[in-house]
A and B are shown apart, each in its own frame.
Chain A
Amino acid sequence: MSTTAKYYYPRSLAVIALLGVGLWLALGETRLAWWSALLPVFEWMEGTVFGVIGQTWGAAFASVQAIHLLGMALLGGSVLVADGRLLGLLLTDSSASEVQDQCHRLFVWALVLTIATGIFMACGVAIKVYYLNVFWYKMLALSAGVAFVYGIRRPLLRQGLDTVHPQIIKLVAVASLMLWFTVAATGRWIGFSG
């Protein structure tokens, strides 16, 4: 008689572990040490060619920022349509899996564009953003957003929407919208700070 090996729910354990690490960093003193260790990186960023261009020519910085906004618009559109479909609000007469796959392709392009332009802008104002809390909240939300897409959302959708509990689908869609809204809103607030 064969016995079934115990299943250890690796993905769920990974989520719990990540949340634990996140809480430890948020409530402990370690993050201050990590933050201090990053200062040389940000000083280096300001000295790069992107940093020099961004600081010297305001027009270049503003144009890249506008492209960043366009990327955010495309990212927002792809997220809104994909999550709107999961919530049963948009494109309900189209196949959910088709909408998810096709929106994801746009999402990847938009994400690459916004991250590339974001790095350019960060180089131009590196020391300023280093000392801004809202910048680090944005980076946290962005990291959480990317991890959520590739670690949670995509694997969940790959197993087939009809095998997933409907409330979990809706909760994932709401969480996704919240994450990307926070990325956009904190990004906007950086402009008002410092």
Chain B
Amino acid sequence: MSANQIIYDLAVWLDTHSQSTALHESFYMYNWIESTHVLALMISLGMLFLIDLRMLGLALPDIPASTLAQRLSLPMLVGFGVMIVTGLMLFYAIPVRTSQSLWFRIKIILLIAAAINAWLFHRRMRAAGTDWDRMQKAPRALQWGAGLSLLFWALIVICGRLIAYDWFDCRTSPIEPIATVAGCLIDQAQF
């Protein structure tokens, strides 16, 4: 059984839940959840961008970098928490189409890459000590981490926005290798 088949079967099973259907067909609930997901961007990514731009010496140069990172991490994590919960609910509402969306799959890969980058970044920040804290720019390794973070999250937002477009949906029989990457199955009954 291929990974795409497993993912498809799981999505179809989720789609059988009455709560999934209720969410998808609700008058306002899906819109509110999506709005919360997008508005929470301003909190989570807003804080993250400030931290990354500080590391690159492009923002808030007079505030110690590690202080900024520490103080803004709580609202950032709260924002990410909200986005994860609402993101899971959005997936749960339309599991089959979302799981077979090329942009959704790219977004998940980028999210994993961003998480690894964040973990490496924090490890490097602890190892770098605090001598550089008041310097305008962070050490080179941290600058790379911050730059990659900005790139990953910009691409994540773009992919998230493109999920709504159906250019490569399995229903439209996309060409290979897009169909394989998106997880389209030859004899699938549901879309």
Contact = CB atoms under 8 A, between A and B. Distances in A.
Interface of A: 58-59, 62-63, 65-66, 69-70, 72-78, 80-81, 84, 90-91, 93-95, 98-99, 102-103, 105-106, 181, 184-185, 188-189, 192
Main secondary structure of the interface of B (DSSP, over half): helix
Contacts of B10: none
Given A62-B162, A69-B157, A76-B41, 14 more contacts: A59-B162, A62-B158, A66-B161, A66-B162, A69-B38, A69-B161, A80-B47, A81-B72, A91-B72, A93-B71, A102-B60, A102-B62, A106-B50, A185-B39
A69 B62 contact: no
Given A62-B161, A65-B161, A66-B161, A188 B35 contact: yes
Contacts of A84: 75
A169 B48 CA distance: 26
A90 B42 contact: no
Contacts of A99: 60, 63
A78 B46 contact: yes
Contact of B50 (A70, A77, A192): A77
Contacts of A78: 46, 50
Given A91-B68, A91-B71, A72 B53 contact: no
Main secondary structure of the interface of A (DSSP, over half): helix
Contacts of B50: 77-78, 81, 106
Interface of B: 31, 35, 38-39, 41-43, 45-50, 53, 59-63, 67-68, 71-72, 75, 154, 157-158, 160-162, 164-165, 167
B59 A98 contact: no
A93 B157 CA distance: 32
Given A73-B46, A80-B46, A106 B53 contact: yes
B153 to A, nearest CB: 8
30 contacts: A66-B157, A66-B161, A66-B162, A69-B161, A70-B154, A73-B45, A75-B46, A76-B46, A77-B43, A77-B46, A77-B49, A78-B46, A78-B50, A80-B42, A80-B46, A81-B46, A81-B72, A84-B75, A90-B72, A91-B67, A91-B71, A91-B72, A93-B71, A98-B62, A99-B60, A102-B62, A106-B50, A106-B59, A185-B39, A188-B38
A95 B71 CA distance: 14
Contacts of B164: 62
Contacts of B75: 80, 84, 90
B71 A72 contact: no
A94 B165 contact: no
A63 B158 contact: yes
Nearest to B155: A66
A66 B158 contact: yes
Contacts of A73: 41-42, 45-46, 49, 157
